[in-house]
Chain A
Amino acid sequence: MSIGVGIIGAGPGAGALHIPTSARLGEQFRVVHVSDSGSGRAVALAARSGARSSTGVAELLADPAVEVVVIVSPPEQHAAQVRAAVAAGKRGILCEKPLALTHEDVDAVIAECRAAGTVLVVGTNHLYDPAWLRAKHHLIARGESIRQVSVTVSLPPNDQYHAVVTETAAASGAAPRGAPDWADPRVAAAIVRRLIIGLAVHDLPLLRDLAPRLDRVVYARPVAPIGFVLGYRAGEALVQVSCVMAPEGAEALWRLAIGTEGDRIEIAFPPAFVHSCGAAVTVRHAEGRVTEYPRDADDGYVELWRAFSALLDGAEVVEYAELAADAHFAVELADAGAAVIGGGS
């Protein structure tokens, strides 16, 4: 018996990501309802699956065919929509990252999910990539201390990746965004905060696994046209996170490099949206040997949906405390980075 899925949000996160990804799990899930916030895009998306469509969240949440909810709306709406889904008695929620934008919302969301026993997963797909589990296993087995972690993200527009996982009737026609006023510290701080909590968040649960504390942000700077660099201290581990979104150009680069007292582990993640395979893991051993692990057939998005399925089946238990800690860490880092920029340092 398939589980009925309601999707809140009708942008690429729905059409190019979660609808096609859920289909990779065969008959386990079926999309029964798609809602948008007034764009009208839900109609076409829903029609592909023979699902209903609506505007806003009330009708979707009142739909008895909707057993679980996928939230792919703008980040500022996530927390309220999770809470609304819990209040509506839905069995499970897959919320795209970030779970919430403030500590208060994190606490409220987690508390209400926990009290209701609602299954909750957050779409931090890199956390579910088999490559990350392999890298983590290597680190634990070797028992070496983490000395440095570097996240490097350099991205072209996502359209080229949407095009390999879905079809769209026509280009959106949306005008390219103008460059932000980086000279205004308040604007710069707000944008970088959003980039940390909305883009770098892909890897923040991994960073928290590697270096659980945030002692201080050493620097944070915006990068033109859109991006930032940030460095922070986490005990004796040092971390740099650098993200740039270019208007065109080279293939997506998304890598995480971990330096220990001996080994060096590099993870190259595939671009967002695509399902070519999992991330690549290379270990440069202290003695000079290099190990390249074979890539898994499935990527973090597919594994995320499998994890959602396992939680709904009761085969796994929701780790609310971990979800909360990851979400708090994202808010803490975003706030700290923004404070450095807003303070003009």
Chain B
Amino acid sequence: MTGIAIGAGASSPRYRAAVAELPLSARPDPAGPVVVVDGAAGWPERLVAAADRAGVLVLAEPVAVAARELEDTARSVRVPVVVERRRRAALPDRAAVVAALGSAAVVEVALPAQDRDAWLRDALGWAGEVAGADAAVVAADRAAHGVLALLTGSRSIPVSLLASESAGPPLIELRTMGAERLTMRVGSRHTAVWTADAGGETRLPDRHESSERAALRRAVALLADPEPADELARLLRDERLRAALGF
């Protein structure tokens, strides 16, 4: 049974609920080794401050920060960090396989006015993930309300991303193209994934587990079996892609 210290912030009710959904492995404990840090503005300072007393940190839905600031934070934090990102949960295995088969990919994004930068960061993160390791923005242009970018990476396939501000519901829609295709639609509260091949289209099962509960499970597992955590590094990669756009 692992003690979970839930820091103050908008995420705390969600994390209290998540702890209640892990009755055999977690319990609320202000002095516990897993410390949840709310991802509202100012989170880098809070994360660094909490690192001294934590075995594993959970960063809850971080807002966007400058890549340089995040680099400094990552250098200062010496404990594993789990990053809860509802819009950037790992792809299901089957989806990851299909994504790797695509010969090109397209990302369309409707950016909300509030939290715009975090949505763009996450959309770029998906684009970069499909492009492969060392993904980089190789061409881009900005309009008053949007951005257009081409990314490439180790997979040597082009990934085209188009994002613009919208008063409508925010959305990230990723499509890989080719003989087998992946479609992923990420909304505020829900992610849906489809694959398609010659046999037809398949809707992959929804993940009904909350992202907070999944984050706590990862944190508990990390505490028991420490391994290099790359979730903060992944966040940093995504922020670097956003920084490259200057939007």
Contact = CB atoms under 8 A, between A and B. Distances in A.
Given A227-B177, A231-B139, A240 B160 contact: yes
B180 A249 contact: yes
Of B152, B167, B196, most A-chain CB atoms within 10 Å: B167
B208 interface: no
A223 B176 CA distance: 12
Contacts of A251: 196, 200-201
A218 B148 contact: yes
B147 interface: yes
B141 A233 contact: yes
B108 interface: yes
Given A150-B106, A242-B160, A264 B146 contact: no
Given A147-B164, A259-B166, A225 B106 contact: no
Contacts of A186: none
Contacts of B157: 223
Interface stretch (A34-42, A94-102, A280-288, A324-332): A280-288
Interface string B123-149: 000000000000000111101111111
A328 B162 CA distance: 25
Given A231-B150, A249-B197, A261 B145 contact: yes
A262 interface: yes
Interface in A136-153: 147-148, 150, 152
A257 interface: yes
A232 B138 CA distance: 14
The interface size bin for chain A is 35 or more
Nearest to A151: B106
A248 B140 contact: no
A174 to B, nearest CB: 20
Contacts of B164: 147-148, 238, 259
B186 to A, nearest CB: 14
Contact of A286 (B167, B173, B200): B167
A147 B143 contact: yes
Contacts of B166: 147, 259-262, 264, 286
Given A156-B179, A262-B167, A288-B169, A148 B150 contact: no
B198 A219 contact: no
Interface string A237-276: 1111010101111110100010111111000000000000
Given A229-B158, A249-B197, A263 B103 contact: no
Contacts of A148: 108, 146, 162-164
A224 interface: yes
B39 to A, nearest CB: 25
A216 interface: yes
B168 A286 contact: yes
Nearest to B105: A242
- Which applies to chain A's interface (DSSP): helix, strand, loop or mixed? strand
A221 interface: yes
B104 interface: yes
A236 B141 CA distance: 11
B178 interface: yes
A297 to B, nearest CB: 24
Given A249-B178, A250-B181, A264-B168, A259 B108 contact: yes
B202 to A, nearest CB: 11
Contact of B141 (A225, A229, A238, A287): A238
Interface in B168-196: 168-169, 171, 173, 175, 177-181, 196
B231 interface: no
Interface string A24-68: 000000000000000000000000000000000000000000000
A30 B220 CA distance: 75
A59 B165 CA distance: 58
Interface string A200-243: 00000000000000001011010111010101110111111010
A158 interface: no
B142 to A, nearest CB: 9
A106 B94 CA distance: 48
14 contacts: A150-B106, A154-B175, A219-B139, A221-B152, A223-B158, A231-B141, A232-B148, A238-B143, A238-B146, A238-B147, A262-B166, A263-B168, A284-B171, A288-B169
Given A219-B138, A248-B198, A286-B168, 10 more contacts: A147-B166, A152-B177, A231-B148, A239-B162, A240-B161, A249-B179, A249-B180, A260-B166, A284-B169, A286-B167
